[in-house]
Structure 1
Amino acid sequence: MEHLSIKLDDLPDEILIIILKKLSNVEVLYSLIGVNKRLNRIACDSVFTSNLTLYFLDKYIHSLSDSMVNRFCSQILPEIDHKIKWLNLESKFMERILLAGNYPNLYGLGLYGIDVEKAIYLFTDDTTFIHVVKNQISSLFFYICSDKKWIPSNDVNKIVFKHIFNIFTKLEYLNFGPSLMWHQRFSFDMPSPNVISSSLLELHITVFHFNDLLYLLDGRFNQLRRFHVNIYRIQHGSSNIYRQEKLPNLRCFSLYSDMRVHYYDEFILPLLHRMLNLEELDLHLKVDRYKGFIDGNDLKENIINNMPRLIQFTFNIRLTNRRPNQTNLPSNEDIKHTFKDFKDNQIISCANFFEENQFSYCHIYSYSYRMKYYDNIKNNFPGGLFKYVDNVSLFDERPFEYEFFLQIAQSFPFMKKLTINNNKPQKNKLYKQSKKDNQDLPIIKYLHLTNLYFDQAHDDYIEQFLINTETYLPYKFYLFVDYEALKRVTENFSRHATRINCAKVHYLCIPNGPEITEHMKDYFPQINIG
């Protein structure tokens, strides 16, 4: 037994493939092709070749090295090009890689990190890039780089968007990327570009205005089945391209907008009423309304009853009601009761009336929650586990106590940004109460918090987060706080109880505060001044 050894070649193909799948496909191909016949055959398996990403990805996209690209273009791609069905490329070596093979079975292309100038060059009829793939591509993922200068949207629309459909005549799937960067929002200025496609079945895009959405649904994509759109602004304006035609082919519609919508009843509902054969609906809206909350009864009457084929309905609607008469408002229990017939989803509702600010707020959503942010959380927050949320904001006219913050930390274990807006003092200050009762309450831990904002927050909350025996904060976090409040809580930057967490601050922003003194620098040894 002491001489027993197992070599890579001794393992069966199935085991080797399981092991190699832990690596990226580009690493497998680069490392194994050309080693020997057996490893060459395994590396050329469709598991590693049918969907190929030729860049490295951690938090950002990184190009392959020049030597790797040289080998891929001269040796690897000519050997496997007939097996590649989907190819993901970044801007630097894009055209060179496309010209390194024939790709007879390529149908999907992901283009990442392209600056607008290169996009304009790529999507013209006379480039060699187009001649390689123009008659094959049915799926296109297009992600414009975020660090390039902006080119007017009208130019982007007329040159990039128009040329895509003129060139890729068999295009069925188009995704303009998940980014919400401002320069990727399309606006179809009049006169509109002449874009028509009878093949497009699925579209993902971010637009500026509601009219831009209407433009895309005016019949030019008459076979569209699935449409996912993020709108920056839904506001009153001209609707010259608005048509009343139904959209019988649309089966899935997803609408996201983070800006306040003042025309939900006038714009959103009439649009939905055109989708008579819809099977899946996903709405994420922030609504200002003057005629009551949106509850289960409202959704049934105005949406569900108009869609007889609807199978799946998910939503996240945050509604602010600013009616001068706030009497006879439904309670949170009343609103919950209106969802009793929603059997397929767990519906969460949180309704509040804010007497000081004279407005009511109601948040309804279908669980599980899929957004990366959860804003304006109140004391009646129902809890739950939100693994995908990394941005949280808190607001109330009643004080937040220890139990509330403990619940927030448990509900959002991967939270990176937290904003606190509450000017009411705590009734049960943990630091003093635990001493008085001689009890050790658990330290609240925010393991991933990198940004902490105190927006019109009472000193009690600043104190709770900066005292290390109450709150654990990770190293190198950003702190936004009022200077006078910070000075009071830290007792002019000398208090021992807040020194440890203050020493973890990497960036301190104190709007309208004085110049940082040597005394403060000693208390915040890591800070960069903002």
Structure 2
Amino acid sequence: MNRSNVYLLDLPNEILFNILKKLQNADVLYSLLGINNNRLDNIARNAMFSNILNFISNVQNTIINDFQLNRFCDYILPEISHNVKYLIVESMSIERILLATHYPNLIHLKIFNFQCDYSLQYFTDDSSLRQIFKQQIKKLDLVNKDSEVGLRLSSDYTKKVYAHILTYFENLEHLNIIQTSSFGYPSLRLSRLPSNTFSSIFLTYLSIRVTDYTDCLYLLDGRLKQLNTFIVQICCMNMDSSIVYNRDDLPNLTCFSLISYTLIEENENRIVSLLHRMSNLEKLTLYLRFVSQNKFIDPKSFMNNLSTYMTRVYSLKFYFSIENNRNDTLDYSFNINIQSQETSNIVCYSVNTVTYHVFTLPFEFIKLVSIGNIFPNIVFNNVIELWIHDIIPFQHEFFLRITQSFPLLQRLFVTDLTSLSYKRKKSPNNIQADQIVKYPHLILLDIKGLNNDCIEQFLNETKTYLPCLTILRVSYEQLQITTEDFTREVTRKNCANVRRLITGREIVGSKDYHYYFPLL
């Protein structure tokens, strides 16, 4: 091509499609439809740009502002409504967008910032959106903004929200509840509700957070007969032994994911027995943390026991941590090969216990608890929450390794440290001790109970950079010492963006405190 200037309309359609596919579909439609250019108009009407439409706002910038939304609803959506199969909307815009035109092929809806007190008004027979929700939608994703409530109220929320949705959406096949914060949305709780609270003969996909292991078993008691994909996060692994559960086989279940961040006390057999019911399982994901004080749980034996019954599984992802009494320690490093699945492990020692971490690669989970100085040279791209401790003092280089191995870290909890050493020594990864540790995404830092050297390591801007820190948990006395009663300049910058400060006591007596934390 000899021309020095090439314009958008000079490009062939194939290249234009490739460029436009990399943009937000809503941006493409807003920019190209109705601008008196037939060629661009025809391109914008292609089904690929109207199948998935995204009408949400994020913190930094508004994807759809009021003016754009009005133009979309009045001019653009009526033109491409027959192509729309999937809409992503913010809860405050649901009525404006869904009443803009008729969507004959809309079957999938994702709602951001779902709050039951506001959003449930649309899930009633009196709603103007009754036809779409009650009969048309088959796939529903709710990004739940409701805050976690006490277990005493979980049953009420289950009846008001979860049971109502499964009953009201008559053709619902897919329900995905997504949490928006680290504290989670209200969990489903069935143990205090009648067995006929809800059921479905259509639901094939369910992703949800439940209160305890009992609720997980209730969901698999036959009320969801066609369920083939079940993704569950369990808040507590307690089980009511007084209840007789349905233990029938689950032949329809081909994909199962079980996530439990809480410790499970010596009950690994209950997990194995549940998996034995899934005779046709093909995809399995497990995140489990075991603790034992009375017997040794061998991670190899546990994995071998699982693998014996997983003859059809072709996709396996797991993370197990097994915390044993240190007196029962086996001194070994191990790799477990299941169906050619690559694995790795970490062994972390504490005063009285040793914790074995065993996991598949790549590590696909968001949380890792109880690691120390020694961990493999792996990049944990999905981990956003990390808990670290060790009986051996951490060097400055360790935190540099943390930032390299956990690049998207948002929440960091540091415990059980006794001292920090800043000796300048050669690092195995060519890391220099005088480099600044940078946590570009860290929102929450918990360093309460650490010694003054540790507090200094994190708050001194010449050692650590914390541009996004908004939640800080730290001992008041040590915070006061490290900041020199809230006057020290070198620790001011890392405190400037903190909006929530947890010190364990009321802060009084310092006239400079509010200037040091201006956003509290």
What TM-score do you get using the length of structure 1 for normalisation?
0.84
Distance 1:161 1:212 in 2: 13
Letter of the 2:137 counterpart:
I
8 Å Cα contact 1:482-1:510 kept in structure 2: yes
Distance 1:312 1:3 in 2: 51
Cα 1:29–1:360 shift into 2, 3 Å: same
8 Å Cα contact 1:158-1:193 kept in structure 2: no
8 Å Cα contact 1:293-1:362 kept in structure 2: no
User: Aligned-pair distance for 1:163?
Assistant: 4.1
User: Aligned-pair distance for 1:472?
Assistant: 3.6
Q: State the match for 2:75 in structure 1.
A: 75
Identical positions, percent: 32
SS at match of 1:125: coil
CA deviations 1:31-83 (Å, max 9, x no partner) are 322112222211111121111122234579x6844433333233222211111
Q: Given the alignment of the two structures, is residue 527 of structure 1 paired with residue 491 of structure 2, yes or no?
A: no
CA deviations 1:320-377 (Å, max 9, x no partner) are 235xxx53421232xx15x2x335333222234433xx23322222221122332222
Structure exhibiting the larger radius of gyration computed from Cα positions: 1
CA deviations 1:202-249 (Å, max 9, x no partner) are 111111122211111111222211110011111132563611101111
8 Å Cα contact 1:74-1:100 kept in structure 2: yes
Say which of 219, 243, 250 aligns to 2:246: 243
What is the 5 A alignment of 1:376-415?
376-415=370-409
8 Å Cα contact 1:215-1:241 kept in structure 2: no
SS at match of 1:376: strand
SS at match of 1:53: strand
Cα 1:490–1:310 shift into 2, 3 Å: same
8 Å Cα contact 1:115-1:145 kept in structure 2: yes
Q: State the match for 1:295 in structure 2.
A: 299
Say which of 196, 201, 214 aligns to 1:198: 201
Q: Given the alignment of the two structures, is residue 473 of structure 1 paired with residue 441 of structure 2, yes or no?
A: no
Cα 1:373–1:149 shift into 2, 3 Å: closer
Root-mean-square deviation (CA), in Å?
3.4
CA deviations 1:392-423 (Å, max 9, x no partner) are 22211221123423322321233333332234
SS at match of 1:56: coil
Cα 1:459–1:58 shift into 2, 3 Å: closer
What TM-score do you get using the length of structure 2 for normalisation?
0.85
Cα 1:176–1:420 shift into 2, 3 Å: closer
User: Aligned-pair distance for 1:255?
Assistant: 0.5
8 Å Cα contact 1:351-1:360 kept in structure 2: yes
8 Å Cα contact 1:509-1:529 kept in structure 2: no
Say which of 411, 418, 442 aligns to 2:412: 418
Q: State the match for 2:342 in structure 1.
A: 346
**What residue ranges of structure 2 are gaps of 5+ in the alignment?**
none
8 Å Cα contact 2:145-2:185 kept in structure 1: no
CA deviations 1:295-326 (Å, max 9, x no partner) are 1222112x11122212222211222235xxx5
SS at match of 1:128: coil
Letter of the 2:276 counterpart:
H
SS at match of 1:157: helix
8 Å Cα contact 2:210-2:235 kept in structure 1: yes
User: Aligned-pair distance for 1:385?
Assistant: 1.0
Cα 1:149–1:329 shift into 2, 3 Å: closer
SS at match of 2:178: coil
Q: Which deviates more, 185-194 or 240-249? A: 185-194
Q: Given the alignment of the two structures, is residue 272 of structure 1 paired with residue 275 of structure 2, yes or no?
A: yes
8 Å Cα contact 1:504-1:526 kept in structure 2: no
SS at match of 2:308: helix
Q: State the match for 1:143 in structure 2.
A: 143
Aligned residues: 506
8 Å Cα contact 1:235-1:262 kept in structure 2: no
Q: Which deviates more, 14-23 or 509-518? A: 509-518
Cα 1:286–1:232 shift into 2, 3 Å: same
Q: State the match for 2:319 in structure 1.
A: 316
What is the 5 A alignment of 1:26-105?
26-36=26-36, 37-57=38-58, 64-105=64-105
Cα 1:343–1:460 shift into 2, 3 Å: farther
8 Å Cα contact 1:405-1:444 kept in structure 2: no
Q: Which deviates more, 105-114 or 82-91? A: 105-114
8 Å Cα contact 2:386-2:409 kept in structure 1: yes
CA deviations 1:3-27 (Å, max 9, x no partner) are 9755443333233333333432222
Q: State the match for 1:500 in structure 2.
A: 490
Distance 1:282 1:382 in 2: 22
User: Aligned-pair distance for 1:284?
Assistant: 0.9
Letter of the 2:510 counterpart:
T
Letter of the 1:205 counterpart:
I
8 Å Cα contact 1:444-1:472 kept in structure 2: yes
Cα 1:278–1:30 shift into 2, 3 Å: same
Letter of the 1:445 counterpart:
V
Say which of 451, 462, 480 aligns to 1:458: 451
Distance 1:381 1:262 in 2: 25
Q: Given the alignment of the two structures, is residue 307 of structure 1 paired with residue 300 of structure 2, yes or no?
A: no
